[in-house]
Amino acid sequence: MSLVVVGSVAYDGVETPHGKVERMLGGACTYVALAASFFTEAAVVAVVGDDFAQEDTDLLASRGIDLAGLERVPGQTFFWSGVYSPDMNDRTTLRTDLNVFAGFNPKLPEHYRTQPYLLLGNIQPSLQRSVRTQMIAPRLVGGDTMNYWIRETRDDLLEALKTWDFLLVNDAEARQLSGQHNLRRAAQAIFEMGPQTIVIKRGEYGAVLFRPEGHFIVPGYLLDDVFDPTGAGDSFAGGFFGYVASRGLDIKDQTALPEIRRAVIYGSVMGSFCCEQFGVDRFRTLTRAEIDARFNEFKEFTCF
């Protein structure tokens, strides 16, 4: 069963203490789909320019990703560049050229509309709502957002959230959205907005899954070296939702809770692999066996 992913496919320029890459494949939709592809069939909805390289299309296709929804239009692909602080906990955006992404108006191919799983990447809430409406009867809808949309398009976002089963955000976004500093209170406030499953990503410190019945916390994987954290949160989303889709889960079902905890671990696993090389490079060689070995490592270093 396919997971439909909407969001940006982009080129990124990234500088970390480990090096600098002028231009490489990036974008939230790219990371989500690549990470999810290790668990389930992913289908992307995005727009690129006529500069989008064949080798990048080939990489996505090689992972079995459905590209019917990857629109190609005249112009340049979305470009973002940034530089990380020495400890990589902060980053400064150097350039954001929306390019063809500025006119993105996602239209779902007919065969996407009947799929059961939909992940709304971090784009304008009005577009997230449009995509949601195009799906016939998805079993599960989840989404991401960011500070800009929370601040500038709050009403639209609140409208969109009403129809989401889960929300994946980082801790700063959860606090901004809810107006609550305390994460438990923030989650309570977000439950009232719609999503009954909330995954709060905490960067190197891991993630917290909140449900009305309780919460689950996973610490971050301690990497020997973080080469490039770009895309780690999106890879988390791909691993999480990819695993949910691979198991055919209904996240709203209470009996699925043990599986949803495992999905949070798979999300953490994919986020950790993402940081091991620049951009999407780690996903070029990663195997399912390596993923499962790291899943077991999580059990080993958290169990008591």
Name the site residues for its own copies (rule: CB under 8 A). Answer: 86-87, 181-185, 202, 205-206, 208, 214-219, 222-226, 258, 261-262, 264-265, 299-304
Q: Considering the complex, state which of residue 138 and residue 219 has its C-beta at the smaller distance from its own copies.
A: 219
Smallest separation, CB 234 to its own copies (Å): 22
How far is 210 from 188, CA to CA, in rounded Å?
9
CB of 258 to its own copies, least distance (A): 7
What are the angstrom distances between the C-alpha of 77 and each of 69, 145, 162, 186? 15, 21, 32, 36
Give min distance, CB of 299 to its own copies, in A.
7
Q: How far is the CB of 145 from its own copies (least distance, A)?
A: 22
Nearer to its own copies, 138 or 216 (CB): 216
Total Cβ atoms within 10 A of residue 77:
27
Whose Cβ is closer to its own copies: residue 77's or residue 246's? 246
Nearer to its own copies, 135 or 198 (CB): 198
Tell the smallest beta-carbon distance from residue 268 to its own copies (Å): 11
CB 82, CB 14: distance < 8 Å: yes
Indicate the residue among 168 and 226 with the shorter CB distance to its own copies: 226
Phi, psi dihedrals of residue 215, rounded to the nearest 5°: -135, 165
| Residue type present at position 164 | W
Contact criterion met (CB below 8 Å) for 135 and 118: yes
Residue 82 to residues 12, 18, 38, 223, 237: CA-CA distances in angstroms?
A: 8, 14, 28, 22, 21
